[in-house]
Amino acid sequence: MVEAMIALAITAMLLTAVGAAFTSSAKAMEINDQFFRASQGARVAVNRVMTQARRGTVSEKDAYDQITNLTDNQTVTYIRLITPINPADLTQVAEYIYKFDSTAKELQMYKVVNNVIGAKNVLAKDVIAGNFVIGIGKDANQAKCVTRLAMSITVQEGNNIIRLSGNAVPRGTMTY
* Averaged pLDDT, 100-104: 88
Q: Say whether pLDDT at 88 is over 70.
A: no
Residue 70 within any structural domain of the chain? yes
Structural domain includes residue 17: no
pTM over 0.75: no
Which range has the worst mean pLDDT, 31-35, 83-87, 116-120? Answer: 83-87
Domain-embedded: residue 41:
yes
Assess if residue 11 is contained within a domain: no
User: 35 lies in a domain?
Assistant: yes
pLDDT band for position 67 (cuts 50, 70, 90): very low
Per residue in 140-172, pLDDT (tens digit) is: 777 777 788 889 999 988 888 889 999 988 876
Residues in Cβ contact with 109 at an 8 Å cutoff, skipping those fewer than 6 apart: 96, 97, 98, 99, 120, 121, 122, 123
pLDDT over 80 (residue 139): no
Longest Cα–Cα distance in the chain: 97
User: Using one digit for the tens of pLDDT, what is the confidence trace for 16-33?
Assistant: 999 889 898 988 888 888
Instruction: Count other Cβ atoms within 10 Å, centred on residue 75.
Output: 10
In a domain, 148, yes or no: yes
**Number of structural domains in the chain:** 1
Residue 10 lies in a domain: no
| Nearest Cα to Cα of residue 49 among 76, 89, 68 | 76
Of the ranges 2-6, 103-107, 134-138, which one carries the lowest mean pLDDT score? 134-138
CA dist., res. 55 & res. 135, Å (int): 17
Provide Rg for the chain, Cα atoms: 25
How high is the pLDDT of residue 73? 67
Structural domain of residue 90, as residue ranges? Answer: 30-173
Residue 66's pLDDT band, with cuts at 50, 70 and 90, is: very low
Average pLDDT of the chain is 81
Residue 134 within a domain: yes
- pLDDT band of residue 76 (cuts 50, 70, 90) is confident
